[in-house]
Amino acid sequence: MDYTLPQRGRAAIDFLADLRNLSNRFEQSTDQAAFDGGLNSDDLPEDPAQLQEVVTPLMENNHEFRVLRMCRDWTLEEHGQIAMDIFEEIRAEVEPGLKALQNGPATLEYDENLKPPKYWDGYEFHKSAGGWDGHDYMGFVHGELIHRRMVNPTFAGMVYAVRKSVADVVPLENPAKILDVGCCSGQFTQGVAELFPDSEIWGCDLSPKQLEQAQRYANENNLEWRLFQADGADTGRADNEFDVVTSYAMFHEIPISASLDNLKEYLRILKPGGYAVVGDVKAYHTFNNYNRWKADYWNQVHGGDPFWREYASTNLADLALQVGFDEAEWKGLGEGEYPFVLIARKGDNNE
């Protein structure tokens, strides 16, 4: 949907992106200062909690590092509010079109009796003000203004390319029916639909506002997605229904107990011979000790992701085998081993 950002909104997004990008130069200089001061990655503990005890006081004693942390904290804490403020400036222009896009070939089924899991309440993931449903158009705010306007340009378009790379590892050539769990506003679902244009695409999420944005995207592109509100651990779908179940960037936002419950559900609803394909952030075992500290510090400690550490310290292939998948592989993609992906197969005789 076409719309025009007001000058103040454009300036706010540009300032946010420039502050993030320009302050990033302090990361390399503070790394070097730590190494010059005698810090050696090989001498550090491997455990993330112990790493925080050892490395964090040293780094936070560096003035440039404190400036870097201040800039990153500010952009995380303010980006959601900035996006909601921008929406209010363009509401009169975009609201009629957003309402119109709720009509079309894509369907959305709400669950008014849904009881969200405990981890869903009380957190603004990534420190995004308002969380997933804190605004009547939070799907547009998050999916369009934050992701397309703020996040993707900051990372030079990498976000959408990375997501599509996960969908590209689905081992089946033409799966009849695919479910994307935790589909949010449909950004990963878009990549799945592009790679499998003849497949029947389903998507579920706990957030009704994010699902509404996914529906708008699908209708705008004349896609017959079937969207429904549900917990990935309890989808309410039939046994042996889907050829593929996918999920992207959701498992680091849920506790390991919920990851197990999700994988059990994926196994139940997959057809024999079907695949679960789960993409997410890089696992901790691939980092040296110092870079493991950085990943843990900027995400678990300062990133607003309370379950990042337990996710990144867990082998999802082990979990998949534990719940009953016949085959499972947990690996990084490409030279940078990013993102990580779980490819788990349900046995042919597993019904």
- pLDDT tens digits for range 100-143: 999 999 999 999 999 999 998 777 878 888 889 989 999 999 99
- Residue 154 pLDDT class (50, 70, 90 cuts): low
Domain ranges of the chain: 157-345
Average pLDDT over residues 276-292: 98
- Residue 325 pLDDT class (50, 70, 90 cuts): very high
- Residue 269 pLDDT class (50, 70, 90 cuts): very high
Say if residue 156's pLDDT is above 70.
Answer: no
Average pLDDT over residues 305-315: 97
pLDDT score for 341: 97
- Residue 159 pLDDT class (50, 70, 90 cuts): low
- Residue 331 pLDDT class (50, 70, 90 cuts): very high
pLDDT score for 124: 80
Which are the contacts of 228, defined by CB distance < 8 A and separation ≥ 6? 108, 109, 110, 111, 202, 203, 204, 211, 236
Say if residue 158's pLDDT is above 80.
Answer: no
Q: What percent of the chain has pLDDT over 90?
A: 86
pLDDT score for 62: 98
pLDDT score for 150: 86
Average pLDDT over residues 57-84: 96
Task: Measure the CA–CA gap between 104 and 219, rounded to whole angstroms.
Answer: 5
- Residue 240 pLDDT class (50, 70, 90 cuts): very high
Residue found by looking up tokens 């790394």 in the block: 31
160 or 125: which leads in pLDDT: 125
Average pLDDT over residues 322-340: 95
Q: What is 157-345's CATH number, 3.40.50.970, 2.40.40.20, 3.90.79.10, 3.40.50.150?
A: 3.40.50.150
Average pLDDT over residues 57-79: 96
pLDDT score for 348: 94
- Residue 155 pLDDT class (50, 70, 90 cuts): low
- Residue 157 pLDDT class (50, 70, 90 cuts): low
User: pTM for the complete prediction?
Assistant: 0.96
Say if residue 309's pLDDT is above 80.
Answer: yes
